[in-house]
Structure 1
Amino acid sequence: MVGTNGSRRDVLKATACACCGAALAGCLTGNDGDDGGSGPSEDDFPEFNPLDPEFPQLTSTLLDHGFETGSIEELDTFEERDEPHYGDPPRETPDDESEWLDPDTLDFAMVPTEDPAVFEGVLDPLLENIEKETGKNVENNPLQSYAAQIEAMRNERLHVAGFSTGSTPFAVNNSGAVPFGIQVGEEEFGYRLWVITQADNDEITELGDMAGKNVAHTDQSSNSGHLAPNALFTDAGVTPGEDYEIEFSGSHENSAAGIFHGDYDVAPICSTCYARVADRGDVDPTQIKCIWASAPFPTTSFCYRYNLHPDVQEGVRRAFLDYDYQDTQIAEEFEGRGTWVEIDYATHYHDILVNHEVNGVDYEDDDV
């Protein structure tokens, strides 16, 4: 059974937005109304070894060790694939020039977020280079949902976009998206699925303890917030929807805030999304623990629509792949990930497609 709760979602959204604009002291208040600092300390958890991690661990410890990402070396260990494991490959550029899309203005949209203002101005260096390399004007149009983003590209109202990991296959199969790059740092790439709960919750220390608890997934198309948990938790002996009722929070920001304020018992969450929420001061990572973590997944895929004029496609690729943004606000906002590297959809999204197959995802279903 899949449950939703509109009133709680509204409360969480209001809480998250209020915290974004409030002072740190006003945000860092748990469900008991006390300021952080009274919960367990690092001494109450195993010594952390990133190469052989033991759980549970305070999320502050994981962040201190950069464990929200994988190492850049791991990106080169993906097994090369000729065809996608599930669904269709990205579409080829049409041979017929009459089918090419050559707009005066390229519309761009980043992954939808709870507060679009967070990215306001951050991507300007990238967008300016897209304009320089394509000769087109570029307009950044924040969208409010994964479904709206996919629908916009399907209808040729969105030309270049960063799609979340879980929604990328929908964009490829339904909207003509062609993934070509992901953001990386100098030594790290990707993100992990973390399972988080309040640090002083002694009833939840491993995956099996989620049974019967109030568990928040994020969104039905989210990889780390729903699809990967469905596959990985079931393999570990805990079946979402059977061993616990799923409640959708609406976003990773909402799930993080919901755990911190005690609205949920436990939540699977994107580690880098959590890192951004913690960095903004919306949650106190010393008051939240992680009981389990996955191997790294690829992050947001950057895509263009398959029928863009070939010259525009090449210009877009150059703007992403031929420039180093490490010294810009892009790297500052995205935890040091100021470089884009080329990817192959079938190869680097293989595990995501396996998750989709296990979940019985139907790309023909418009309910993203």
Structure 2
Amino acid sequence: MARDNRPHCSICRRKVLLGTGAAVTTGLAGCLGDDDPADDDTADDSADDAANGDDAGGDDEFEDFDLDDPVFPQTMQTLIDEGFVTGRMEDIDAFEEQDEPHYGSDIREVEGEDEIIEPSTLQFALTPTEDPALYADMVDPILENIEEETGYPCENNMVDSYAAQVEAMRADQLHIAGFSTGAVPFAVNLAGAVPFSIQVSEDDAGYRLWAITHMDHEDINSVEDFAGRNGAHGDPASNSGNLMPRALFDEEFGVEPEEDYSVEHVGDHENVILSVYHQDYEVAPVCSTCVARVAERGDVDANDIKVVWSSDPIPTTAFSYKYNLPEDVQEGIERAFLEYDYYDTEFAEEFEGRGEFIEIDYATHWHDILVTHEDNDIDLDDPADID
């Protein structure tokens, strides 16, 4: 049974954790705000038009959306409204069980007492974002439960890249982390991470890889139409932002990134969707839940983004701990995630209402991601391949 999650006071747990490597970012042209309406009637009319799909993008030209038989293209707003941003719990349950990881090493095990570390303070870091400070206070309920269950103080850190996060755990400077999907295999192989949980809601789990463009590009309506375009990709180690598109687009559509369309790495998913929204780039692959949060904050108008293809659901951020922490500390960390209800917290509100955590198996749930890494000739033992 989930434990009651009481309101927590805000205490000082944050510090910047610097490591090697940094996500590449670019300056984005354009203004994030909207012009003021000429009068209240105009504003009301615009709101009514947007609600009916008669906005600047105009999705009335697309087929009606069926959650069980989706047809593309669709506006991003339609997919948000129809609940197609995430997968469903049955999708996670349906993964075919694997006895061992398809590629790379298995979860590391302690071979001797001299390997065990006992830090005075447990260090935690959420997967890097464009603005890590945005999530600084949101994780406080989790940190307090970790402290309660382990007896160790726990500090939140802000990291600036996937490489920095993996390197920090590798150097025993980070003990608990939410690693992004594509970075998880690096964390396991290089840093001794033990992925044990993902964040879900009662109905929703995982995310999707979307292929997007701006609604103004009327002649881009499929991944095949990416050919000859200038594209934005996310961090090189990002699963949906770079690695999976490189494996899937060529195999399924005959469109190879960098060969058939140009690729510029612009950082995280927020940078990617902003670059398409402001038309600095024509096409891009993105993580559905990541960009939906950008739209919900009002930084982009989801009616102006066209989704031309979507993948099946993919497991999201894997919460992990260092393999050589004392066993009772590992068990306490697991309890802090798996036995508490976080639905009434800002953390759940920010992440699509996902207020609970469920157990995952690395070999099983990361099987497709490991296939993708192998297809991309990624060396999971080489830190340079994270960048």
Deviations 1:127-171 (A, max 9, x none): 100000000110001100000001000000000000000000000
- Pick one of 21, 25, 30 that aligns with 2:34: 25
- Pick one of 329, 337, 347 that aligns with 1:330: 347
Partner of 2:375: 358
Is 1:239 equivalent to 2:256 in the alignment? yes
**Whole-angstrom distance in 2 between the partners of 1:217 and 1:188:** 26
Deviations 1:23-44 (A, max 9, x none): x5369xxxxxxx9965232312
- Pick one of 54, 65, 79 that aligns with 2:82: 65
- Pick one of 223, 230, 235 that aligns with 1:214: 230
Is 1:104 equivalent to 2:120 in the alignment? yes
**Whole-angstrom distance in 1 between the partners of 2:26 and 2:380:** 29
- Pick one of 69, 92, 108 that aligns with 1:52: 69
Give the % identical residues: 56
- Pick one of 280, 283, 289 that aligns with 2:297: 280
Partner of 1:305: 322
- Normalising to structure 1: TM-score of the pair? 0.91
Partner of 2:217: 201
- Pick one of 185, 195, 210 that aligns with 1:179: 195
Q: CA deviation at 1:95?
A: 4.7
Is 1:228 equivalent to 2:244 in the alignment? yes
- Is the contact made by 1:198 and 1:262 (CA closer than 8 Å) also made in structure 2? yes
Partner-residue secondary structure (3-state), 2:370: helix
- Pick one of 288, 292, 295 that aligns with 2:309: 292
**Whole-angstrom distance in 1 between the partners of 2:327 and 2:111:** 10
Deviations 1:300-331 (A, max 9, x none): 00000000011110000000011111121121
Residue ranges of structure 1 left out of the alignment (5+ in a row): 1-7, 28-34
**Whole-angstrom distance in 2 between the partners of 1:122 and 1:91:** 30
Q: CA deviation at 1:200?
A: 2.4
- Is the contact made by 1:186 and 1:336 (CA closer than 8 Å) also made in structure 2? no
Partner of 1:136: 152
- Supply the RMSD in Å over aligned alpha carbons: 2.0
**Whole-angstrom distance in 2 between the partners of 1:218 and 1:356:** 15
Is 1:249 equivalent to 2:249 in the alignment? no
Deviant stretches of 4+, over 4 Å: 35-38
Residue identity in the other structure for 2:202: E
Q: CA deviation at 1:364?
A: 2.4
Partner of 1:5: none
The 10-residue stretch of structure 1 (94-103 or 82-91) with the greater mean CA deviation from structure 2: 94-103
Deviations 1:216-251 (A, max 9, x none): 111111000011001110112111121112111111
- Is the contact made by 2:136 and 2:156 (CA closer than 8 Å) also made in structure 1? no
Residue identity in the other structure for 1:285: A
**Whole-angstrom distance in 2 between the partners of 1:42 and 1:202:** 11
**Whole-angstrom distance in 2 between the partners of 1:220 and 1:9:** 12
Residue identity in the other structure for 2:225: D
- Normalising to structure 2: TM-score of the pair? 0.87
Is 1:76 equivalent to 2:93 in the alignment? yes
Residue identity in the other structure for 1:346: A
Count residues in correspondence.
Answer: 348
Residues 141-180 of structure 1 correspond to what in structure 2 (within 5 A)? 141-180=157-196
Deviations 1:97-121 (A, max 9, x none): 3321111100000000000121121
**Whole-angstrom distance in 2 between the partners of 1:241 and 1:259:** 17
Partner of 2:41: none
Partner of 1:189: 205
**Whole-angstrom distance in 2 between the partners of 1:164 and 1:79:** 21
Residue identity in the other structure for 1:199: M
- Pick one of 111, 120, 136 that aligns with 1:120: 136
Residue identity in the other structure for 1:304: Y
Partner-residue secondary structure (3-state), 2:290: helix
**Whole-angstrom distance in 1 between the partners of 2:375 and 2:185:** 14
**Whole-angstrom distance in 1 between the partners of 2:355 and 2:292:** 16
Q: CA deviation at 1:123?
A: 1.0
Residues 338-353 of structure 1 correspond to what in structure 2 (within 5 A)? 338-353=355-370
Residue identity in the other structure for 2:300: V
Partner-residue secondary structure (3-state), 2:240: helix
**Whole-angstrom distance in 2 between the partners of 1:364 and 1:143:** 21
Residue identity in the other structure for 2:34: A
- Is the contact made by 1:39 and 1:200 (CA closer than 8 Å) also made in structure 2? no
